[in-house]
Amino acid sequence: MKHLSTRLSFSQFASGSVSGVFIPFFAASLAWRGLSADQIGLLLSTALILRAVAGPLSGIFADARNDRRAVMLVLYWIMVAGFGSLCVVGSPLLIFLVSVPAYIAYGAATPLLESVSVRLAERFGFDYGRVRIWASSAFVVMNVTGGIVVKFLGLGAVAPMLTIGAALCVVSTIMLPAPPATEGAAPLGSRLKATLEETKELLRTPVFLVFLAAASCEQATHAFYYGYGGLHWKAIGYSEMLIGIIWPLGVFAEIALFSQALRVLRLFGPSKLLLMGGLVAIVRWTILAFDPPLPLVIFAQFMHGGTFALAHLGAVFFILKAVPQRLSATAQSLYFVGSQGIMMGLATLAIGPVYSSLGGKAYLMMTALGVVSIGFTLLLARRWHGEAIIHGGKSEHVDTI
């Protein structure tokens, strides 16, 4: 396990390099390839819907195998194949057939990497946040680098950049230690059945459901910002250059907070971190709802460290403390599906008509969602006090990736 934190940091950097290209440029590259807005929407929505199923199933399978590394490798190879094929295919149908599996695989692999990072940080005494900052750093680097590449080479360069990022994910995962051999392990079928049963138990546990509601509502407060934030700034007169300058400020705040993750956890604990994230969300989105002067917009951008990073740290540390490590990937996948899939999708769908009618005042809908998240978090704090919420079952090898 020598230099494990360095190898995990490389894995996080590789993962962030994919999202740093995918999020700002992928949809635009599809339009450049000739897909209509409706076709792009169908492709992305299909991937999101299927990811809501594939993500938890990948987590369950990884936990049943007690080997997240192998499942991550399979998913990353699917990304390499999908994005690599995107470099050469041209028809809308083929673009759909190669892009959707790659998008699903990336969404399924990310929570597996998170579960491995936070659990092994606890096991070997290094700071999860110091590992996680490399994903955020890579995101910013590839935002800038990708923009430069697209400016000079065009949107056709997006697929090759995504392929390179996916290949880095494969390499970085191969560099992680393979799980130790286990003597006398039960057949995979019986282990899978046991994991499925424990997953059902987890989903019947009120504390976990309250946690999912709190974390998902809090992260979904970003729906307007992610979907319409840049568009709205442009509508009120901000230039593309100004938007490009102020957008990464939030990620810099996120990086700063992740760098102090262990200290922050010791001071506040998971429930309070989620609560603080919700409180910051109320302030941030209320400020932006009234199209304030630029200095206040910049101030609100730095609050991303609260709205995203504080809440995310609260969520992953809740899973670490409340869920046994044999279900770590499953629980992390359920959190990602709830926060980045189902609830984010519903909020994004609902906010569109509101923005059409009210413009920037639609941010107040995100403020209201922040209030809802605080309600669930207060309920969580009353019902959970740091204990494990699932008991029984066989323990796994503590060194397992």
Domain ranges of the chain: 1-179, 187-401
- pLDDT of 229 reads 85
pLDDT higher than 90, residue 339: no
Using alpha carbons only, how large is the chain's radius of gyration in Å? 20
CA distance 395 to 391: 10
Query: Any idea which residue has 């504080």 for tokens?
Result: 310
pLDDT higher than 80, residue 75: yes
May I ask the CATH architecture of the domain 1-179?
A: Up-down Bundle (1.20)
Residue 397, H or E segment: none
Task: Name every residue whose Cβ is closer than 8 Å to that of residue 364 and which is 6 or more positions away in sequence.
Answer: 285, 286, 289
SS3 for 50? helix
- pLDDT of 42 reads 83
The amino acid present at 105, given as its one-letter code, is A
- pLDDT of 25 reads 85
Residue 395: C-alpha distances to residues 201, 203, 323, 398 (Å): 17, 20, 12, 8
The amino acid present at 310, given as its one-letter code, is L
* pLDDT averaged over every residue in the chain: 89
pLDDT digit string, tens, across residues 109-139? 999 999 999 988 888 888 999 999 999 999 9
Mean pLDDT to the nearest integer, 367-373? 96
- pLDDT of 243 reads 81
Mean pLDDT to the nearest integer, 298-309? 94
State pTM to two decimals.
Answer: 0.88
* pLDDT band per the 50, 70, 90 thresholds, residue 311: very high
Mean pLDDT to the nearest integer, 307-319? 94
Residue 118: C-alpha distances to residues 85, 113, 127, 188, 303 (Å): 33, 9, 8, 25, 24
pLDDT higher than 70, residue 223: yes
**Residue in 313, 50, 317, 340 with CA at minimum distance from that of residue 221:** 340
CA distance 394 to 240: 55
pLDDT digit string, tens, across residues 157-208? 999 999 999 999 999 999 998 877 665 567 888 888 989 999 999 999 999 9
Q: Which two tokens stand for residue 158?
A: 């997006």
Mean pLDDT to the nearest integer, 67-85? 96
* pLDDT band per the 50, 70, 90 thresholds, residue 394: low
* pLDDT band per the 50, 70, 90 thresholds, residue 348: confident
CA distance 133 to 400: 23
The alpha carbon torsion through 277, 241, 25, 17 (nearest 10 deg) reads -60
Least confident range from 1-5, 235-239, 380-384: namely 1-5
pLDDT higher than 80, residue 333: yes
pLDDT higher than 90, residue 39: no
What is the per-residue DSSP string for 114-179?
Answer: HHHHHHHHHHHT--HHHHHHHHHHHHHHHHHHHHHHHHHH-GGGHHHHHHHHHHHHHHHHHTSPPP
pLDDT digit string, tens, across residues 229-284? 888 888 888 887 788 788 888 888 999 999 888 888 889 999 999 999 999 999 99
pLDDT higher than 60, residue 399: no
Asked if residue 205 lies in contact with residue 330, where contact means CB atoms within 8 angstroms, the answer is: no
Beta-carbon-side half-sphere exposure of residue 352 (alpha carbons within 13 Å)? 5
Beta-carbon-side half-sphere exposure of residue 83 (alpha carbons within 13 Å)? 31
- pLDDT of 289 reads 95
The H helix count followed by the E strand count for the chain is 19, 0
* pLDDT band per the 50, 70, 90 thresholds, residue 66: confident
- pLDDT of 185 reads 67
- pLDDT of 384 reads 94
Q: Which of 63-72, 190-199, 370-379 has the highest mean pLDDT?
A: 370-379
CA distance 140 to 219: 20
User: In a 10 Å sphere around its CB, with 0-12 CB exposed, 13-18 middle and 19+ buried, how is residue 277 labelled?
Assistant: buried
- Percent of the chain with pLDDT strictly greater than 70: 96
Q: Greatest CA span in the chain, whole angstroms?
A: 66
- pLDDT of 218 reads 95
Task: Name every residue whose Cβ is closer than 8 Å to that of residue 151 and which is 6 or more positions away in sequence.
Answer: none
- The CATH code of the domain at 187-401 is 1.20.1250.20
- pLDDT of 377 reads 97
* pLDDT band per the 50, 70, 90 thresholds, residue 2: low
pLDDT higher than 70, residue 392: no
Asked if residue 305 lies in contact with residue 35, where contact means CB atoms within 8 angstroms, the answer is: no
Mean pLDDT to the nearest integer, 69-77? 96
pLDDT higher than 90, residue 341: no
CA distance 113 to 68: 8
Task: Name every residue whose Cβ is closer than 8 Å to that of residue 27 and which is 6 or more positions away in sequence.
Answer: 40, 44
* pLDDT band per the 50, 70, 90 thresholds, residue 395: low
* Helical H segments across 33-91, by residue range: 37-65, 68-86
Between 384 and 40, residue with greater pLDDT = 384
**Residue in 58, 47, 54, 49 with CA at minimum distance from that of residue 99:** 47
